[in-house]
């Protein structure tokens, strides 16, 4: 997991990492030094600047092997907590960006809350 020490959501990332038995790195180079296959970046939305994404992209481009990166962010601490702990009531706008064959494709969708079923 990647979560900067000064990020407002850092403690949520540490809580999740502790529950899942995952290490937490404070910088992208430190996270990538562990040679992960997957990297989950937990961050407050205003920290997803062009510069921050560029810095992560440069760090990823310098590697020989690919790393699948996921970003968990949200407008509130509760929304981030719901996403991290896979709660059924997690909802919101979800964006997916992928790069393949020199093209970047973005998809944005709205995930509704699941309907409650009568038993």
Please answer whether residues 2 and 41 qualify as being in contact, where contact means their C-beta atoms are separated by less than 8 angstroms. yes
Instruction: Give residue limits of the domains in the chain.
Output: 10-111
Indicate the pLDDT class of residue 91, thresholds 50, 70 and 90.
Answer: low
Indicate the pLDDT class of residue 87, thresholds 50, 70 and 90.
Answer: low
Indicate the pLDDT class of residue 119, thresholds 50, 70 and 90.
Answer: very low
* pLDDT tens sequence across 17-45: 998 889 999 999 999 999 999 899 999 99
The percent of residues above 90 in pLDDT, for the chain, comes to 30
* pLDDT tens sequence across 43-71: 999 998 888 888 888 888 888 888 888 88
Tell me the two tokens of residue 46.
């205003």
CB atoms within 10 A of CB 27: 15
Alpha-carbon distances of 66 from 24, 35, 52, 76, 103, rounded to whole Å: 19, 10, 19, 31, 16
Rounded-to-integer distance, Cα 44 and Cα 40, Å:
13
3-state SS track over 42-90: ECCHHHCCHHHHHHHHHHHHCCCCCCEEEEECCCCHHHHHHHHCCCCCC
pTM of the model as a whole: 0.71
> Mean pLDDT lowest for which of 10-19, 29-38, 84-93?
84-93
Rounded-to-integer distance, Cα 68 and Cα 8, Å:
24
Chain mean position to CA 54: 15
């Amino acid at each position: 997991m990647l979560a900067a020490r000064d990020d407002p959501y850092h403690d949520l990332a540490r809580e999740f990492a502790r529950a899942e038995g995952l290490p937490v790195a404070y910088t992208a180079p430190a996270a990538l030094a562990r040679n992960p296959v997957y990297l989950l970046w937990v961050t407050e939305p205003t920290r997803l600047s062009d510069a921050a994404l560029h810095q992560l992209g440069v760090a990823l481009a310098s590697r020989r092997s690919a790393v699948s990166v996921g970003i968990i962010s949200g407008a509130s601490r509760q929304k981030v907590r719901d996403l991290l702990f896979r709660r059924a009531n997690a909802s919101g706008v979800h964006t997916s960006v992928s790069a393949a064959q020199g093209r970047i494709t973005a998809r944005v969708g709205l995930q509704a809350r699941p309907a409650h079923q009568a038993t």
